[in-house]
A = this chain, B = another copy of it.
Amino acid sequence: MIRILVTEAAIDLAAELEGLERAGGGAVASFTGLVRDDGGVEELFLEHYPGATDEALAKLAAEAENRWSLAAATVIHRVGAMTPGERIVFVGTAAAHRSAALDACAFLIDRLKTDAPFWKRETRGQDARWVGERESDRHAADRWKRP
């Protein structure tokens, strides 16, 4: 059971986790990313590639479901304007075994960072700037490549 959502609305963590719990795996792992204040950020704006985003996330979720025999996988990404403390991204997995749920959750957030077409712009006062690529994100995504 795969659930993909790209939305301007706030992420309802409790509802999402309950959905994963009902999938019947017994082990549920989740990752939530929040907007950070990072030196006075007032607004974080998330742009995306509407035609391609859902498909990129669904592809990652299907890969994870397959590789770790998941009972369920959920990937939700906010777009539009947000303020510090708000949830940007939620990844949740349900599986029969905890290592499958945990590894698949880490895989999904690592790969989402490099494979899904989202871009962040931070606004501090009058200064708006697009966030640059992080080398560490590429390394994190690479470790999931299989021989």
- B-contacting 9-mer, from A2-10, A22-30, A115-123: A22-30
The complex is assembled from copies of this chain, and their number is 2
Bound-complex Cα distance A109 to B102 (A):
10
CB distance from A86 to the nearest CB of B (A): 10
Interface assignment of A40: CB less than 8 Å from any CB of chain B: no
How big is chain A's contact interface, by range? 20 to 34
Query: Nearest chain-B residue to A18 (Cβ)?
Result: B13
Interface assignment of A14: CB less than 8 Å from any CB of chain B: yes
CB distance from A133 to the nearest CB of B (A): 16
Interface assignment of A75: CB less than 8 Å from any CB of chain B: no
A29 & B30 in contact (Cβ 8 Å cutoff): yes
Interface residues of A (CB under 8 A from B): 13-14, 17-18, 21, 24-37, 85, 87, 96, 98-99, 101-102, 105-106, 109-110, 140
